[in-house]
């Protein structure tokens, strides 16, 4: 359970959301572009830091040089 839901006043005001309802909201543009559904709660995703981007790129290149052709 997300920590915010540990607070009784918040938990009492939360309306659980099904996966199907979440997908409908995303399709209709009602959920925003940078959100995800975690344990029935819509949470805004954080942006990737420049360090995260650089490390991901370096890891991708490292793996790419070590895998045979046909892997992606």
Residue 41: what are its φ and ψ, rounded to 5°?
-120, 130
Instruction: Pick the more confident residue, 49 or 71.
Output: 49
pLDDT in tens, 4-48: 778 888 777 777 788 888 888 888 888 777 888 887 778 878 888
And the tokens for 32?
């925003």
6-35 CB burial, b ≥16 within 10 A, e <16: eeeeeeeeeeeeeeeebeebbeeeebeeee
Distance from C-alpha of 34 to C-alpha of 45, rounded to nearest angstrom: 5
**Confidence at residue 1, expressed as pLDDT on a 0 to 100 scale:** 62
């Amino acid at each position: 359970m997300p920590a915010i839901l540990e607070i009784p006043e918040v938990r009492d005001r939360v309306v659980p959301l099904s996966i199907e309802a979440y997908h409908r909201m995303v399709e209709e543009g009602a959920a925003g572009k940078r959100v995800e559904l975690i344990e029935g709660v819509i949470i805004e995703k954080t942006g990737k830091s420049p360090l995260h981007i650089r490390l991901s790129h370096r890891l991708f290149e490292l793996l790419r040089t070590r895998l045979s052709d046909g892997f992606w």
